[in-house]
Structure 1
């Protein structure tokens, strides 16, 4: 197969020590029903047989770049974006498997929808019966991004012109959530879409970067979610930013003062979204869900109770127009009166 000078797609695949899976991965790309692509494989100084396996292929579409030193996954991605010749960039990882019609279906979607910058797909987990379902349309993806990344990175096909137009690439400091960060920076400028078909099989194993750096990934994802909310034009004091982080993390105990601050913050966020960045109904539900968890967490999942807690409940119940179930309200009253503690 001969690569055209101006291929429709650049398949961008960074690899590092993928000898166990790389052949099955490469075969899944070379077997695609859509064949007009260059296959850019960037090896990050592998120490196993990955390079030998790649070099055994005789297909002119494969362009292997071997880095002399290991400089990281995100560095490889950005280098690939810089030299890619394709109109579209199809992401791939060296241990996953693309379904044969993946490129054909993604190209069709992008060709027919010029306002869509990124097209992902559903994907399944190799060795399980699990399918990862992600929202389809742009508005649902945007809301979903407030909770987690809603695009499977190795499933995406990206319209390169949007990255060039807005001078976007992957942020090395956001690894291993560099993709989540890129999508949320692109959200205000272009549409994202997920085909509702399983077009990739994703491999989970303990040597993956995301498995090794879970805490770092969580902390970076927290900042990404805060930055996404900051697209709204509300007053961004340090106090409100700290409260946003604490609410999103949802792992800390809140003070009563912070409970009161949340209601003020919630109202500001709703006002800032009147000219909607997020779908109005969906965003209000997102904030009400947070309110529900704060409300129940503060009054039901405490280690200590006193009469002041019950009086706080009465105050918040009126201001938030929320209340516990009758049985839970009764238990709260009893625990507060007897100064209950675990």
Structure 2
């Protein structure tokens, strides 16, 4: 039976392109949510396989399919969806992942009770591995962990749309495939980020994943995002300090004795510049400013 809605509290946003292999399972995981008051906005980026046919096989009034005539890219699809989304919240979903049945209900309940939070992600599991991936939960922990890498799973997040509109912040296509990481960092001065400490998304890793096909590009763009994050501290770095920091960001820890000392100086500069408390002092101190691989 169709579930028609007027003005939904939630817009589920799913960009798709040539996703015929996994799209059915992803779509069904959305339609079978315990929370039902949403519009399901699917942006097809001119797929050439059976993706669109599969989507059209579902008779559910919540589905709104936008078919782009020309392939313009993933980030363009995301921004198109954000601009036409009617919901108070925008829940992200990828065409190869699975949302567990209570995901939307739990995220909306949390966001309604915590107006300071503008992005709410969840813990996740990797399909086929039967183990949860632990991510930081609270805002202060996430803020600092973002120095090491992206620690919100894009297909798990729910975003408060007003925060994007009021700040005119959208995805930056130039940062793709780290467009989500860049968005979280640009939203940090606007509100809190949070990860629900429960697995609510199953994440699929396969050979066509961005993490495999565009790894080097993703790494370079993520470095630029880290520099943006550090820019909030207004720290002046000498050229030699910038060079060492870039080596660390590229996970090249084969530093000379002099470079190790330079890096210690860089960390001290950052710690000293935290006077306005951009990073929570207690959390900052507990990390001792040691960079790690990921978070």
Q: Structure 1-normalised TM-score?
A: 0.81
How far the C-alpha of 1:287 sits from its partner, in A, is 4.7
1:139-158 residue pairs with structure 2 within 5 A? 139-158=140-159
Structure 2 match to 1:118: 119
Distance 2:221 2:288 in 1: 21
CA contact (8 A) 2:237 2:266 kept: no
Matched, 1:204 2:202: no
Give CA deviations for 1:8-45 in whole Å, capped at 9, x if unaligned: 01100001111111111111111111111110001111
How far the C-alpha of 1:167 sits from its partner, in A, is 0.5
Report which stretch shifted further, 208-217 or 237-246. Answer: 237-246
Q: Structure 2-normalised TM-score?
A: 0.93
Matched, 1:191 2:192: yes
SS at match of 1:60: coil
Structure 2 match to 1:326: none
Structure 2 match to 1:10: 11
Residue ranges of structure 2 left out of the alignment (5+ in a row): none
Distance 1:261 1:186 in 2: 30
Root-mean-square deviation (CA, aligned residues, Å) is 1.7
Distance 2:22 2:260 in 1: 50
SS at match of 1:5: coil
Residue ranges of structure 1 left out of the alignment (5+ in a row): 293-342
Structure 2 match to 1:28: 29
CA contact (8 A) 1:90 1:158 kept: yes
CA contact (8 A) 2:92 2:156 kept: yes
Give CA deviations for 1:73-97 in whole Å, capped at 9, x if unaligned: 1110010001111100000011111
Distance 1:29 1:264 in 2: 49
How far the C-alpha of 1:288 sits from its partner, in A, is 4.6
Higher relative contact order (CA 8 A, sep 6+): 2
SS at match of 1:64: strand
How far the C-alpha of 1:258 sits from its partner, in A, is 3.0
1:153-164 residue pairs with structure 2 within 5 A? 153-164=154-165
1:268-287 residue pairs with structure 2 within 5 A? 268-287=269-288
Structure 2 match to 1:63: 64
1:102-113 residue pairs with structure 2 within 5 A? 102-113=103-114
Q: Which has the higher helix share?
A: 1
Structure 1 match to 2:268: 267
- How many residue pairs get aligned? The number is 291
CA contact (8 A) 1:226 1:241 kept: no
Indicate the structure (1 or 2) with the bigger Cα radius of gyration.
1
Report which stretch shifted further, 153-162 or 221-230. Answer: 221-230
Distance 1:50-1:224 versus aligned 2 partners, 3 A rule: same
Distance 2:114 2:213 in 1: 38
Distance 1:19-1:288 versus aligned 2 partners, 3 A rule: closer
SS at match of 1:200: strand
